[in-house]
């Protein structure tokens, strides 16, 4: 009899484990913290027919305020009040009408130490942008992961997987520091388990996983810790507008309202001006906001409160878990505007010092200003972000270095673009750049001209905003953005069959070394002189393809000169008296040339940029 009872008990225990395994596949977020400003936590529970179970909590410190069901019975949402929650584990008890019961243990972690809170980024930083699949291959063992949908390495296919990973990034942090990089932005590293063409990271299939071909959460934590040990910062790239069509939601949606669906496939019209156009039709606005980016990228519906909460909590989870210092939001204007305000306020409430900059890819300054959080017209309610990716500045610089000055072109285009800074209360947190993962490479854009390359670099590192550098442009990597994959080629040096190593001076040719050491020199100067980063700014109207501007701060006064012409230019001191004041001398920190301003005129070299430190 005793043996029979024991056998029955074993069967019952075994059946409970079966129920547990079948009923709970995941709970998101996978864990949380007890010390949050927002005391409400929503758990998304997923498992076969979990909607048939009633949850209760085996603790009095946490209150289950509401259980919410979905059209799909495989989901539940549990709303918890964690006001009085204590750090540690607690059990969620699930019971069905037949009294079948099982427990799920959930964890609230300890508070984050004060020295690990986000630090933000500023004009003091020099940010470096990396596409992880193409930068460095630090672990050949994760090149192919058999469980993933795409199981090939095709370096000769610009749209295929190439094998770069997080370990490769960690291995090259010394290299980045040699360029005086202080902040690292990786294109998204979350799981992109698509059948093909997802190396770029913008088609998420699981918001809580690192893509296995890049590494895992532990390796990402190692990257974060190593960066912070080196006093560098980590920028997280996030996407709220869309996901990959192989996302685990898409295989079993809670209900159809999580994604914008149409009778037939409908893509966005990509016309963000519809959001500010006083005459725009509702259908045009709807197509802009709700149309899909691509047939493989479903458009998320952030007006759905569960989607909104899921995205907000996911971002908070990454920031707090990995000590993220700044967020870069992809396709900012394509998400629902009211959601973006709620999201930004929620992030800022938890992390007051984090920096947030958002992508707004437009060609019109007025549209750019509409989406800027600090526009003086206040056309949109201010959100809690800091700045935008400054495509206006980028377009102006590429125009300035490539073309002679006209009434609106060449250097005048750059001058006038900066003149439009009156549209903003504060433009210092805009991120400025010379190329990125969507744009023609700098070396290509300058027609492979070293003097144009150098002028562009000098402008990037001496103007308002946070400068961002795209991986490999320091070694003159090439590529046009048609298709975009052409600008995402491999940084040679870490793959088994690479015949050269561009991370070393010996592996680079003379031209590549000239470009590399020029960037290195200017980033070092920028780090040494605060005036170059955040001094007051004045500029003169360009004349004869010469543009003069000044950066001043306390006892540091710089006169910056750009000459895009092929002629030596004579400049009259009287015209620049406002900047020269009583300074009689100057030294160009780039060329080491000495200037004497006690005379009536001085000369500047053709096709050059000068950073002149003024002295008496």
What pLDDT does 375 receive? 81
Nearest to 507, CA basis, from 63, 273, 175, 160:
175
Q: What pLDDT does residue 378 have?
A: 57
**Is the domain covering 536-615 a CATH 2.60.40.1180 domain?**
yes
Rounded to 5°, the CA angle 317-321-326 comes to 80
Rounded distance between C-alpha atoms, residue 527 and residue 455, angstroms: 18
Catalytically annotated residue among 359, 435, 485, 545 = 359
Fold of 16-111: Immunoglobulin-like (2.60.40)
Burial of 592 (0-12, 13-18, 19+ CB in 10 A): exposed
Q: Examine the residue annotation and report whether 325 is marked as an active-site residue of this protein.
A: no
CA distance 595 to 575: 16
Instruction: Please tell me the least confidently modeled range out of 111-115, 264-268, 283-287, 512-516.
Output: 111-115
Q: What ranges do the domains of the chain cover? A: 16-111, 252-354, 360-430, 536-615
> pLDDT digit string (tens) for 156-193?
999 999 999 999 999 999 999 999 999 999 999 999 99
The answer to whether domain 16-111 and domain 536-615 are alike in fold is yes
Q: What is the 3-state secondary structure (H, E, C) of 72-89?
A: CCCEEEEEEECCCCCCEE
Backbone angles phi, psi at 57, to 5 degrees: -110, 135
Stated as kind and residue range, the H or E segment containing 178 is: helix 173-178
pLDDT band of residue 380 (cuts 50, 70, 90) is low
Q: Which residues pair with 547 in a beta bridge?
A: 562
Which of the following is catalytic: 237, 330, 386, 545? 330
Q: Is 55 helix (H, G, I), strand (E, B) or coil?
A: strand
Would the pTM count as exceeding 0.85?
A: yes
pLDDT confidence of residue 240: 97
pLDDT level of residue 384 (50, 70, 90 thresholds): confident
Q: Is the pLDDT of residue 115 over 80?
A: no
Contact 406, 451 (CB under 8 A): no
The per-residue pLDDT for range 194-210, each reduced to its tens digit, is: 999 999 999 999 999 99
- SS3 at position 586: strand
Walk across the sheet containing 75-81 and list its strands.
26-28, 40-46, 75-81, 63-69
**Which is more confidently placed, 376 or 214?**
214
At residue 321 the predicted structure's pLDDT band, cuts being 50, 70 and 90, is very high
Residue 440: pLDDT over 80: yes
Sign of the four-CA dihedral 562, 568, 573, 574: negative
pLDDT for position 13: 46
3 state SS of 467: strand
Output the CA angle 471-477-481, nearest 5 degrees. 90
Q: What is the pLDDT of residue 371?
A: 87
Across the range 381-406, mean pLDDT stands at: 91
Q: Tell me, what's the pLDDT at 382?
A: 55
| pLDDT, mean over the chain | 94
Strands annotated E in 266-365: 326-330, 355-358
Q: What is the pLDDT of residues 80-112, one digit of tens each?
A: 999 999 999 999 999 999 999 999 999 999 877
Write the pLDDT tens digit of every residue in 4-57: 444 444 444 444 444 444 479 999 999 999 989 999 999 999 999 999 999 999
Helix/strand/coil for 136: coil
| Straight-line distance from the first to the last Cα atom of the chain, in angstroms, rounded to the nearest whole number | 104
Question: What's residue 16's pLDDT?
Answer: 46
Instruction: Say yes or no to pLDDT of 332 above 50.
Output: yes
pLDDT digit string, tens, across residues 116-163: 778 999 999 999 999 999 999 999 999 999 999 999 999 999 999 999
Is residue 330 flagged as an active site residue? yes
SS3 for 214? coil
Judge whether residue 297 has pLDDT over 50: yes
3 state SS of 346: helix
- Asked if pLDDT for residue 586 goes beyond 80, the answer is yes
Residue 276: predicted pLDDT: 87
């Amino acid at each position: 009899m005793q043996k029979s009872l024991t056998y029955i008990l074993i069967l019952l225990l075994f059946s409970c484990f079966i129920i547990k395994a079948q009923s709970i596949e995941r709970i998101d977020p996978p864990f949380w913290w007890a010390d949050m400003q927002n005391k409400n936590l929503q758990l998304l529970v997923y498992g076969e027919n979990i909607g048939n179970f009633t949850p209760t909590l085996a603790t009095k410190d946490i209150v289950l305020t509401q259980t919410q069901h979905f059209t799909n019975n495989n989901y539940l949402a549990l709303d918890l009040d964690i006001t009085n929650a204590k750090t540690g584990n607690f059990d969620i008890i699930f019971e069905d009408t037949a009294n079948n019961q099982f427990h799920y243990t959930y964890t609230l972690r300890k508070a984050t130490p004060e020295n690990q809170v986000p630090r933000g980024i500023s004009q003091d930083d020099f940010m470096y942008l990396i596409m992880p699949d193409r930068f460095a291959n630090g672990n050949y063992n994760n090149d192919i992961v058999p469980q993933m949908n795409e199981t090939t390495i095709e370096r000769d296919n610009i749209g295929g997987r190439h094998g770069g990973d997080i370990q490769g990034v960690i291995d090259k942090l010394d290299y980045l520091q040699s360029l005086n990089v202080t902040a690292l932005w990786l294109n998204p590293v979350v799981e992109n388990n698509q059948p093909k063409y997802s190396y770029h990271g913008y088609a998420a299939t699981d918001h809580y996983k690192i893509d296995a071909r890049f590494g895992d959460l532990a390796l990402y934590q190692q990257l974060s810790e190593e960066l912070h040990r080196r006093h560098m910062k980590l920028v997280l790239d996030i996407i709220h507008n869309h996901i990959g069509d192989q996302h685990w939601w898409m295989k079993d949606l809670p209900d159809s309202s999580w994604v914008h669906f149409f009778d037939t496939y409908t893509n966005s019209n990509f016309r963000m001006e519809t959001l500010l156009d006083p005459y725009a039709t509702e259908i045009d606005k709807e197509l802009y906001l709700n149309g899909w980016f691509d047939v493989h990228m479903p458009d998320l519906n952030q007006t759905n409160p569960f989607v909104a909460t899921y995205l907000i909590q996911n971002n908070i989870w990454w920031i707090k878990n990995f000590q993220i210092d700044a967020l870069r939001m992809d396709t900012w204007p394509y998400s629902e505007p009211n959601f973006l305000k709620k999201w930004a306020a929620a992030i800022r409430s938890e992390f007051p010092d984090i920096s947030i900059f958002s992508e707004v890819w437009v060609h019109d300054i007025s549209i750019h200003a509409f989406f800027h959080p600090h526009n003086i017209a206040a056309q949109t309610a201010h959100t809690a972000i800091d700045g935008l990716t400054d495509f206006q500045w980028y377009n102006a610089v590429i125009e300035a270095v490539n073309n002679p000055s006209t009434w609106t072109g060449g250097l005048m285009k750059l001058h006038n673009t900066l003149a439009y800074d009156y549209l903003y209360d504060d433009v210092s947190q805009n991120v400025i750049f010379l190329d990125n993962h969507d744009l023609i490479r700098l070396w290509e854009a300058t027609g492979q001209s070293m003097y144009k390359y150098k002028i562009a670099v000098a402008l990037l590192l001496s103007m308002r905003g946070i400068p961002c550098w795209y991986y490999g442009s320091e070694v003159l990597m090439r590529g046009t953005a048609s298709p975009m994959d052409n600008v995402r080629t491999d940084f040679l040096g870490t793959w088994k069959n690479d015949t050269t190593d561009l991370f070393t001076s010996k592996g680079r040719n003379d031209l590549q070394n000239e470009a590399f050491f020029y960037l290195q020199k200017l980033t070092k100067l920028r780090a040494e002189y605060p005036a170059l980063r955040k001094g007051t700014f004045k500029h003169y109207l360009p004349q004869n393809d010469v543009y003069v501007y000044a950066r001043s701060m306390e006892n540091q006064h710089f006169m910056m000169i750009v000459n895009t012409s092929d002629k030596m230019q004579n400049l009259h001191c009287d015209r620049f008296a406002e900047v020269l004041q009583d300074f009689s001398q100057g030294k160009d920190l780039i060329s080491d040339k000495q200037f004497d301003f006690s005379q009536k005129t001085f000369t500047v070299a053709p096709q050059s940029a000068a950073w002149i430190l003024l002295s008496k």
